Copies of this chain bind each other. A is one copy, B any other.
Amino acid sequence: MSADVARRIPVTLIPGDGTGPECIQAARRIVDASGAPIDWEVFEAGAKVFKKGLSSGVPPETMDSITRTRVALKGPLETPIGFGEKSANVTLRKLFETYSNVRPVRELPGVTTPYSGRGIDLVVVRENVEDLYAGIEYMQTPGVAQALKLISFKGSERIARFAFEYARSEGRTKVACATKANILKFSEGMLKRAFEQVASDYPEIEPWHVIVDNAAHQLVKRPEQFEVLVMTNMNGDILSDLTSALVGGLGFAASANIGGEAAIFEAVHGSAPKYAGKNVINPTAVILSAVMMLRHLGLFDEAGAIEHAVFVTLESGVLTGDVLGYDRGTPTTEYTDTIIGNLGRRTETWSVRDVKPLQLPKLDPAPDYVKATSRAVVGLDVFVETPLTAAELGASLMDLTRDTRLSLVMISSRGTKVFPPTGAMTETGDHFRCRFIIRENPGDLPDEDVHQLLARISREHRWMHIEKLQEFDGELGFTRDQGD
């Protein structure tokens, strides 16, 4: 029990959809039975809210509660098709800037997998608010879609630091950073650079970088080599789901979404509507998410007691239908009762980690960003839709822009240079990227020259996207093309 019994801690509780309420009820009963001084504030989000016509899936009173409590435990939420474009789960993560998604995965007693006996015990730390997950997309032509992958240095630094702090809080000795920096030098490379920079503040922890596809390979081949992995959002999404399959599946996959202002704890699994109301769902993922929540709140004794009770229960062979088959599994309520009955007992064969308080990276309230000492705009990429061939488009653009300050140096199709011709067999469509560079007297290109160039191109061609080509501190801020 924590020292100050009088102190009660308010927590927002969101039962969610499908089997969510059953899982949440199990976790709530166990947390209460542990003596943790939680005052639950129950609020809605998800399917019912979408159906009321609120396209975010999260009503203001739920937002208000989390803004007040700063901590939520939630069941899975559905995003019914046709009621809104955005997932309510993603909405909550983004609106409360919970920039870290934490997905611990470890071998569990009684849950046999092809990896049993190898001692898997790893944590995926996933950046949670940037990257392709922002869902910024454009149809650039009727047949070409573009999504933007945006990665900031500050966002990368923050998640890298979080990963090291998390490792430190759990007494871990290694942190791996998995990126695709070999192909995406700027965006994925941003996390790699931030990671390498931050690592020096944690001399007791060994940092290593691994290419993300190799990480996927290694996680299947030798998962026991990993302790903590940090990744950008989309890669972390895929690899954290991979890891949860190593140890018994989504019924056991807990997660935390942690930011500087608020934290949301939830199971990884969906609402599993076909099992709803049947008292068969495995509530362990939500229970272990509640354990993470108690540690976040500093209630280490209660958290440890529940974790021990879960392990003792699993060791005794009390297991739910997802493990034993739904005709033979222990019902959800009985499984919950067994865990409550085991509170106070300690596993003999399984270890429970001695967790220290997590130090969240301190953030300056003022907006913070990287500054360059010197900078210049040196050209422009103009994305054009046209039925012309690359050669015809090239000739036309050269003609149109002959007396401007900018010179056409290249046209590419999906990143491969197609003009001037390279002899390659590249197929093209109706979507081209046309690169213009300052013809002479390189320096900072004024916007007037940009406007003039666009006016010229607009005379004969349809463009839909422009990128300025910049230099920061003497480094090119744009990539070259395949074949260039």
**Most B CB within 10 A of own CB, among A184, A216, A237, A245:** A216
Q: Which residues of B contact A466 (CB under 8 A)?
A: 465-466
**How far apart are the CA atoms of A244 and B454 in the complex, in Å?**
48
> How far, in Å, is A252 (CB) from chain B's closest CB?
12
We find that the number of chain A residues with CB closer than 8 angstroms to chain B is 127
Given contacts A221-B249, A414-B152, A458-B447, is CB(A370)–CB(B141) below 8 Å?
Answer: yes
Q: Quick one: CB contact mask for A413-452 with B, threshold 8 Å, 1 for yes?
A: 0111000001111111111010000000000000110110
Check if A352 is an interface residue, CB within 8 A of chain B: no
Q: In whole angstroms, what is the CA distance A180 to B95 when docked? A: 22
* Chain A positions 220-278 with a Cβ under 8 Å from a chain B Cβ: 220-221, 234-235, 237-242, 244-246, 249-250, 259-262
Contact between B262 and A245, CB atoms less than 8 A apart: no
Report chain B residues within 8 Å CB of A367. 387, 389, 427-430
A67 CB → nearest B CB, Å: 8
**Which residues of B sit under 8 angstroms from A234, Cβ to Cβ?**
180
Q: Mark A64-96, 1 if CB is under 8 A from B, else 0.
A: 000100000000000000000111001100111
Residues of B within 8 A of A91 (CB): 482-483
Contacts of A122-152 to chain B: CB distance below 8 A: 129-130, 132-152
Distance in angstroms between the alpha carbons of A335 and B79 in the assembled complex: 55
A48 at the binding interface (Cβ < 8 Å): no
Distance from A402 Cβ to chain B, minimum over Cβ atoms (Å): 20
State A225–B85 Cα separation when bound (angstroms): 31
- A472 and B139 contact, CB distance less than 8 A: yes
Q: Smallest CB–CB gap between A418 and chain B, Å?
A: 11
Known: A137-B185, A184-B135. A430 touches B147 (CB 8 A): no
